Amino acid sequence: MNKNIKNIKNNIKAISSETLNGQNYSRNDFARSILNYPAMMVPSVQEPIIEKLAEALNDKVSLIDPFMGASNTLVTGMKYGMDVFGQDINPLSILLSQVKTSFYLSEELIDAERRITSSINSDIFETIEISFINIDKWFTRNTQIELSKIHRAIRREKSLKIRKFFWVALAETIRLTSNDRTSTFKMHMRPIEEINSRQISALKTFSSVSQKNIKNIGDYISVLIQKGYIKNGKYIKNADVVWGDTNSGIKTRKTFNLLVTSPPYGDNQTTVTYGQFSYLPLQWIPFEDIDKTIELDYLKTTQEIDSKSLGGQIKTNIKEIEDNVFEKSKTLKEFIIQFNYEERKKAEKVTRFIYELNNSIDKMLLRMRKDSFLAWTIGNRNVNKHIVRNDLILNELFESKGIELFTGLERDILSKRMPGRNNFSNMMSKEKILIYKKTN
Ligand SMILES: C[S@@+](CC[C@H](N)C(=O)[O-])C[C@H]1O[C@@H](n2cnc3c(N)ncnc32)[C@H](O)[C@@H]1O
């Protein structure tokens, strides 16, 4: 084996288990604390992997995350001065990522926060700004009035960039003050007695979230400044985030030499319901402030985003899908054919998910340069009381495209916020970091 390649592998293998298990991370880390998006990666886990692969690339790094979620991968890449690009299907991920990859001066945010607070304090109206089915189920009347005041005050801000920052603070406020439980990502109403006795103020929550976020983003930006990555009020490299369905394609003409991602583990409905998690916040945020091309039908029902996400579609005939994907992955085939008719129906979602994952990989590979690295953090899950070996399946999908596993690591995922207790048995407590090298 080439000595250099061996060194890279050894360096990756030498990453300590404490680091991989996220024992050194802080919940207040800027990248994670600004909005509590589901199943976020721990930046301190990704950092050494990104750092070591960047050394191996020995070149300017251009990083892509095609399932960017809360964009922690991009934020980590920016700490190393890389060009970064992220894509996600969920509009809330786009908003959050736009904010996390923008440059803000603390003073402009502090001034805006003062203006917004004073605008809220002088707002005597009780008009509710938003209307959607079941609004009264998900928000008390008082919370609706308070959120409406915040909404009006943010809308008055002239700068789109500033509005985006405070829409994120509003999204976190909604997560904390709606009648939806915070313990699961699926929408579940709190018990009526709890709603009636809860002492909660959207105004106070918004104020403390805004202040915390201003501090966190300020701390992060000062790291970029210290490293010399901010010049003339801008990040010196490109940081692009795009709303798009990775299964349909990567929405850029750029090419990349490093891909770092943690894809969903299965279709959203039966694993992590990113869409349901985002449904209430997105009702209160004007889509045109996120991206003018986002269609409103994304909020048609609470299920809409999840059904548009990987594995959520049931348009194509299952037989056609099976024929296509069983040929690539014998592990998937063996998993599916062990079941009787009823169980097999239930497991269909796994096949549909893997089919779309495979299709998405093809789309990504079109944008990856020769000799690029692809680092995937992926876990297994249970369906019909049997383990879906996503790790082996992913290896087989890559093998079918002539791409071998370069090296792999394993980590505990106790520190990662996974579905609520009820669903936990559905997921595994370990995940793999699988690194591939595209040699052609
Ligand atoms: C595990 S999360 C990514 C977490 C991210 N690495 C982080 O640290 O926050 C998976 C993401 O994939 C997104 N996703 C699912 N299907 C998608 C699709 N077809 N196209 C683009 N993104 C998709 C979800 O919206 C979700 O944000």
Distance CA 107, CA 118 (A): 17
266 Cβ inside 6 Å of ligand 1: no
Output helix, strand, coil percentages for the chain, rounded to the nearest 5. Answer: 50, 15, 35
Q: Domain boundary at 166, 182, 217, which?
A: 217
Instruction: Characterise 433 by phi-psi region: left (phi > 0), alpha (psi -120 to 50), beta (else).
Output: beta
Q: Taking the CA atoms of the chain, what radius of gyration do you get in angstroms?
A: 22
Contact of 361 with 393, CB cutoff 8 Å: no
Sign of CA dihedral 266, 387, 65, 396: negative
Residue 323 CA from chain centroid, whole number: 31
| pLDDT of amino acid 12 | 92
Q: Which of 32, 64, 38, 40 is nearest to 50 (CA)?
A: 64
pLDDT higher than threshold 90 for residue 290: yes
Beta partners for 388?
Answer: 381
134/75 same-domain check? no
232 part of a folded domain: no
pLDDT higher than threshold 60 for residue 421: no
Residue 159 domain boundaries: 106-217
Q: Domain boundary at 217, 251, 268, which?
A: 217
The 10s digit of each residue's pLDDT in 315-326 is 789 999 999 999
pLDDT higher than threshold 80 for residue 251: yes
- Region 214-241 average pLDDT: 95
150 Cβ inside 6 Å of ligand 1: no
| pLDDT of amino acid 419 | 52
Angle at 244 between CA 234 and CA 378, to 5 degrees: 95
416 part of a folded domain: yes
288/398 same-domain check? yes
319 part of a folded domain: no
The 10s digit of each residue's pLDDT in 173-204 is 999 999 999 988 999 999 999 999 999 999 99
- Region 55-59 average pLDDT: 86
Q: How far is the CA of 265 from the centre of ligand 1 (A)?
A: 10
310 Cβ inside 6 Å of ligand 1: yes
The 10s digit of each residue's pLDDT in 337-372 is 999 999 999 899 999 999 999 999 999 999 999 999
Q: How far is the CA of 213 from the centre of ligand 1 (A)?
A: 23
46/119 same-domain check? no
114/195 same-domain check? yes
Distance CA 11, CA 272 (A): 33
Query: Please, what's the largest Cα pairwise distance for the chain?
Result: 73
Beta partners for 259?
Answer: 64, 374
Q: Domain boundary at 217, 250, 281, which?
A: 217
Taking all residues of the chain, what is their mean pLDDT, rounded to a whole number?
92
pLDDT tier for residue 423 given thresholds of 50, 70 and 90: very low
pLDDT higher than threshold 90 for residue 90: yes
228 part of a folded domain: no
**Of the candidate ranges 28-37, 139-148, 208-217, the one whose mean pLDDT is the lowest:** 28-37
166 part of a folded domain: yes
pLDDT tier for residue 28 given thresholds of 50, 70 and 90: low
Tracing tokens 């991370």 back to the chain, one arrives at 25
Contact of 311 with 266, CB cutoff 8 Å: yes
The neighbour count for residue 169, using CB atoms within 10 Å, is: 26
- Measuring from atom 2 of ligand 1, which residue has the nearest CA? 69
Residue 431 CA from chain centroid, whole number: 17
- Region 231-244 average pLDDT: 96
90 Cβ inside 6 Å of ligand 1: yes
pLDDT higher than threshold 90 for residue 33: no
71 part of a folded domain: yes
299/374 same-domain check? yes
Q: How far is the CA of 273 from the centre of ligand 1 (A)?
A: 10
82/22 same-domain check? yes
148 part of a folded domain: yes
Q: Which of 343, 274, 267 is nearest to 311 (CA)?
A: 267
How many domains is the chain partitioned into structurally?
Answer: 2
436 Cβ inside 6 Å of ligand 1: no
Tracing tokens 């207040």 back to the chain, one arrives at 28
Q: Look up the CATH number of the domain holding residue 41.
A: 3.40.50.150
369/242 same-domain check? yes
- Region 237-266 average pLDDT: 97
Mutation choice for ligand 1 from 68, 251, 355, 376, CB with most ligand atoms inside 8 A: 68
- Measuring from atom 22 of ligand 1, which residue has the nearest CA? 88
222 part of a folded domain: no
56/130 same-domain check? no
* CA distances (Å), origin 399, targets 55, 236, 258, 295, 327: 25, 37, 19, 37, 12
Q: Which atom of ligand 1 is nearest to the CA of 247?
A: 19
305/389 same-domain check? yes
pLDDT higher than threshold 70 for residue 415: no
pLDDT higher than threshold 50 for residue 206: yes
Q: Is 426 helix (H, G, I), strand (E, B) or coil?
A: coil
pLDDT tier for residue 425 given thresholds of 50, 70 and 90: very low
290/151 same-domain check? no
- Region 428-432 average pLDDT: 84
133/196 same-domain check? yes
Residue 78 CA from chain centroid, whole number: 17
Residues of the chain above pLDDT 90, percent: 80
Distance CA 432, CA 373 (A): 16
The 10s digit of each residue's pLDDT in 120-170 is 999 999 999 999 999 999 999 999 999 999 999 999 999 999 999 999 999
Q: How far is the CA of 264 from the centre of ligand 1 (A)?
A: 6
Distance CA 61, CA 77 (A): 9
Q: Which of 40, 67, 52 is nearest to 14 (CA)?
A: 52
| pLDDT of amino acid 5 | 81
pLDDT tier for residue 438 given thresholds of 50, 70 and 90: very high
**Of the candidate ranges 38-42, 93-97, 188-192, 350-354, the one whose mean pLDDT is the lowest:** 38-42
29/114 same-domain check? no
262 Cβ inside 6 Å of ligand 1: yes
Contact of 265 with 272, CB cutoff 8 Å: yes
276 Cβ inside 6 Å of ligand 1: no
- Region 59-68 average pLDDT: 95
